[in-house]
Amino acid sequence: MNINNKVRLYGAGGHAQIIKFIIKDNNDLLDGVYDDDPKLAHKNFYGVRKGFRLNKNEFSYDNIPFIVAIGDNRIRAEIAGLLKCSFSNAIHASAIICENVQIGEGTVIYAGAIIQPNTNIGKHVIINTAANVDHDNTIHDFAHISPNATLCGLVEVGTGSHIGAGAVIIPQIKIGKWCVIGAGSVVIQDVPDYAVVVGNPGRIIKINT
């Protein structure tokens, strides 16, 4: 087998398992898995190494890029800020990515996702299984678009926001930063920063300060 690239994962949970298989399918080499609590690693990970916060003095990058394989947006942002290295992407071969799509470093795109033209995706974003991102969207750093979520055209998702599984965001809606849109919600109006939205139509149930 011809190896294309080496990559390391920071994080050893269920989310990391999926990225592991994307790496394998892309004929890339998983060169190591690191975690801040190796004892809690997923059962299918072996030989998990100590993360940066457990091994600051001896942590070595070896010029190999990382993917921060952590589903929690805030923790992913924290770890990405600590690591002084380059970051790789993991994009499943079955994802459909149209022309003029910009994808930032560290972003992962799962099987069956569709990214339509002129969309700008930031750094360390998760586009999960079968998510549908329509044309001219802007998805900022550390956001997570969950399985089967639909973002219609000209939607903006703020930094660190989580769009729940099966949620629908109608066209020209702006979601603020660090918001949570509940699974199955239908968002028909702009959402302020830190808001939690649930229901159809979506309603704000609290603001996380």
Last residue of a domain, one of 60, 82, 104: 82
Give the tens place of pLDDT for each residue, 24-54. Answer: 999 999 999 999 999 889 988 989 999 999 9
Assess whether 97 and 196 both reside in one domain: yes
Identify whether the C-beta of residue 204 lies closer than 8 Å to the C-beta of residue 190: no
Based on the domain organization, do 52 and 105 belong to the same domain?
no
Cis peptide before 65 (omega within 30 of 0): no
| Domains of the chain: total | 2
What are the C-alpha distances in Å from 102 to residues 90, 116, 123?
Answer: 14, 11, 10
Q: Could you list the active site residues?
A: 135
**Is the pLDDT assigned to residue 174 strictly greater than 80?**
yes
Q: Is the pLDDT of residue 66 over 50?
A: yes
Let me know: does 91 contact 109? Beta carbons within 8 Å. yes
Cβ atoms of residues 187 and 168 within 8 Å: yes
> What pLDDT sits at residue 3?
65
> Which SS3 state, helix, strand or coil, does residue 95 take?
coil
Q: Over the stretch 132-165, which tens digit does the pLDDT of each residue have? A: 999 999 999 999 999 999 999 999 999 999 999 9
Same domain? For 174 and 195 the reply is yes
Query: What CATH number is associated with residue 25?
Result: 3.40.50.20
Residue 1 lies in a domain: no
* CA angle at 74 for the pair 71 and 80, rounded to the nearest 5°: 85
Task: Please say which residue of 51, 82, 113 terminates a domain.
Answer: 82
- DSSP-derived 3-state class of residue 37: coil
77 with 150, same domain? Answer: no
pLDDT, position 2: 54
Q: pLDDT value at position 192?
A: 98
- Domain residue limits at 72: 6-82
Q: Are 118 and 103 in contact (CB under 8 A)?
A: no
The mean pLDDT of 197-204, rounded to a whole number, is 98
Kindly report the pTM of this predicted structure: 0.95
Q: Examine residue 63 and state whether it is found in any structural domain, yes or no.
A: yes
